[in-house]
Amino acid sequence: MSAPIQRCKLCQTRSKSLLFSQLRYCNKSFSSSCKLNSATKHNQVEAWQPVIGLEIHAQIKANSKLFSRANTIFGGPTNSQVAFLDAALPGTLPVLNRRCVEAGVITALALGCQINKVSRFDRKHYFYADLPAGYQITQQNNAIANNGRFHYVQYGNKESDIREKAVTILQLQLEQDSGKSLHDDLDKQSLIDLNRAGCGLMEIVTAPEFHSGDEARSFVRDLRQLLVTLGTCDGKMSEGSLRVDANISVHKPGQPLGERAEVKNLNSLSSLKKTIEFEIKRQIAVIESGGRVINETRSFDLDTGETLPMRDKEVQLDYRFMPEPNLPPLRLYHRSDLKGAMHGDKVFIDDLEKNMPVLPQERRGNLMQNYGISMYKAAFIVTENLQDIYEELVSTRNVEAFTNFFINTVAARLLANELTLDQCPIPGKHIGYIYDQYKEENINLTVAEKLIDTLLADSSVDPKEHIRLENLWQINDVAQLTELCKTIIAENPKAVSKLKRGKDRAMNTLMASARKATGDRGNTRIINRIFKELIAQSEGRD
């Protein structure tokens, strides 16, 4: 039996110079994106393996809260979206929101989880001003779903460095959100707004299978896209709809896991990566200087990613979990469980599974399989939500050429204008027309880009009409271009002599003049060729 394939644990490459001792690290240096000293080789830093697990709190996209029917709109007037239950006034009882349950089930199905048909709610006790009841209703021990798996994509420096990775989802549970507190340092007080208190959250707990801030960030990016596609969360991290807690520790491979520290409420992708990288380095520094990493909760600086200890760092929190006595178990059904009579009030897993939209990972796979494009290109198209229009147009055209045009021109213009196709829908046939004209050399690339910009500004424009009106057709007539080139050569003796001496950069001057003279409509390939021929001819004569 041959030996199993071995790869460098950090960069995943197979290399002949791989050190096959227990270390399994290659001789490569870190890339510049890694903040560790770039001259350090992987095998010298084998000392430390970071281990990261994430807890993602995604606010469920629903009209009302999890256990009360108060509004959930972001930014509402202070304390105006608070029901009596949310303020923990005595005499109130929780009433579960059906939509939140459905959102939990749909998300769990998309994450490939095992749905628990009977789940229970628990109380998690701690004292804080933004938690009026003194406890949070959550699902600690018998959650709605366990044991899923999510595939995400991690980009590298080059297009070909893209990797698909997977992580185990340990648990998905429904829980209440707490209120929002603003800290007034000047007056030494906190201001509490309970509008958010009681909103439904899905807490998604991953196994500690990440080993870098970049992996964690890639995962959250793809998870966010999944949730937005499913419609169960609006993914607006800036509004706090998606918050991440990271549990970070370091250890030497082969040795037991180190003590972990937790960083809470990371709410942007960039600060997620920066903060995790900082915390890894901080822990390494603490251990190497003889200290001990404390199991504590730390907060972070938004700009620098530095982590800071919070005030009560010495005390271990004991949440005193107990079953929520006011709520019987939550039961989910398959249609086959209840035959005969109509049961409109129950949640059926089959119905939700039937109505699931196509998931991003599947769309990516479909594009790769149906058209043979690379994972990078497929991932890009799906991330920018362009797959429908792409599939509509690519089926009748040359795949490689059209894909490159689609990504480098169409999508690039969208991104440059900071727009999405949902915001300004250009009819597919117009994009197809522009591409076809470009392919047949009737318009050049610059004109194509300008046309896209025009259509983005006003999608009712007909590109054919526009080209005719603005006279944007490409000039392909060799005779006409030759005349033009002769004129330009006569007007630029210095550039011509530079070219003759072998300074190829002087061609740029000639090309620029040609572009100006033709109003950017000349066929640059032909012009370039004509210039070279004319100069060669004049050299022959001289």
Partner 1 sequence: MAHIAGMFVIRSNQICSRLLNRQLFQCREKFKLPDKPEWIEIDPKALPPETVLDDSTIQLIERLSLVDFNNKEGVERLKSAIKYADQLCVVNTEGLEPMYSVQEHEELFLDEDVVREGNCKQEILRNAVKVEEDYFVTPPGNIPLKQKKLFDKEGS
Site for partner 1 in 300-319 (CB under 8 A): 306, 308-312, 315, 318
- Please tell me whether residue 321 binds partner 1 under the rule CB under 8 A: no
CB 500 within 8 A of CB 492: no
Would you give the distance in Å from CA 300 to the centre of its chain?
21
Q: What phi and psi values does residue 59 have, to the nearest 5 degrees?
A: -75, 125
Task: Please state, in angstroms and rounded to a whole number, the distance separating the CA atoms of residues 279 and 539.
Answer: 66
Distance of closest approach, residue 50 Cβ to partner 1, in angstroms: 14
14, 253, 285 from 46: Cα distances, Å: 17, 8, 15
* 35-54: contacts with partner 1 (CB under 8 A): 35-37
Task: Please state, in angstroms and rounded to a whole number, the distance separating the CA atoms of residues 116 and 349.
Answer: 11
- Please tell me whether residue 461 binds partner 1 under the rule CB under 8 A: no
- Please tell me whether residue 188 binds partner 1 under the rule CB under 8 A: yes
* 217-256: contacts with partner 1 (CB under 8 A): none
Select 346 or 397, whichever has its Cβ closest to partner 1: 346
118, 513, 530 from 481: Cα distances, Å: 77, 12, 8
Instruction: Give the other-Cβ count within 10 Å of 189's Cβ.
Output: 11
Task: Please state, in angstroms and rounded to a whole number, the distance separating the CA atoms of residues 404 and 273.
Answer: 30
Select 188 or 501, whichever has its Cβ closest to partner 1: 188
Distance of closest approach, residue 223 Cβ to partner 1, in angstroms: 23
Return the structure tokens found at 99.
Answer: 């939509």
Quick one: which segment of 21-29, 61-69, 233-241, 488-496 binds partner 1 (CB under 8 A)? Answer: 61-69
- Please tell me whether residue 117 binds partner 1 under the rule CB under 8 A: no
Of the candidates 359, 363, 337, 367, the one whose C-alpha atom is nearest the C-alpha of residue 350 is 337
Quick one: which segment of 97-105, 244-252, 412-420, 453-461 binds partner 1 (CB under 8 A)? Answer: 97-105
Return the structure tokens found at 209.
Answer: 């299978």
Distance of closest approach, residue 57 Cβ to partner 1, in angstroms: 17
Distance of closest approach, residue 323 Cβ to partner 1, in angstroms: 4
Distance of closest approach, residue 288 Cβ to partner 1, in angstroms: 7
CB 359 within 8 A of CB 222: no
Q: What phi and psi values does residue 89 have, to the nearest 5 degrees?
A: -75, 140
Return the structure tokens found at 214.
Answer: 């970049």
- Please tell me whether residue 82 binds partner 1 under the rule CB under 8 A: yes
Select 77 or 254, whichever has its Cβ closest to partner 1: 77
Pairing mode of beta strands 189-193, 49-59: unpaired
**297 strand-pairing partners:** 262
Contact pick of 3, 4, 254, 345 for partner 1 (by CB under 8 A)? 345
- Please tell me whether residue 162 binds partner 1 under the rule CB under 8 A: no
**169 strand-pairing partners:** 148, 206
Distance of closest approach, residue 193 Cβ to partner 1, in angstroms: 6
Quick one: which segment of 281-289, 412-420, 428-436, 476-484 binds partner 1 (CB under 8 A)? Answer: 281-289
Quick one: which segment of 192-200, 356-364, 398-406, 498-506 binds partner 1 (CB under 8 A)? Answer: 192-200
Applying CB under 8 A, what is the total number of residues that bind partner 1? 75
* 193-212: contacts with partner 1 (CB under 8 A): 193-194
Contact pick of 13, 33, 190, 459 for partner 1 (by CB under 8 A)? 190
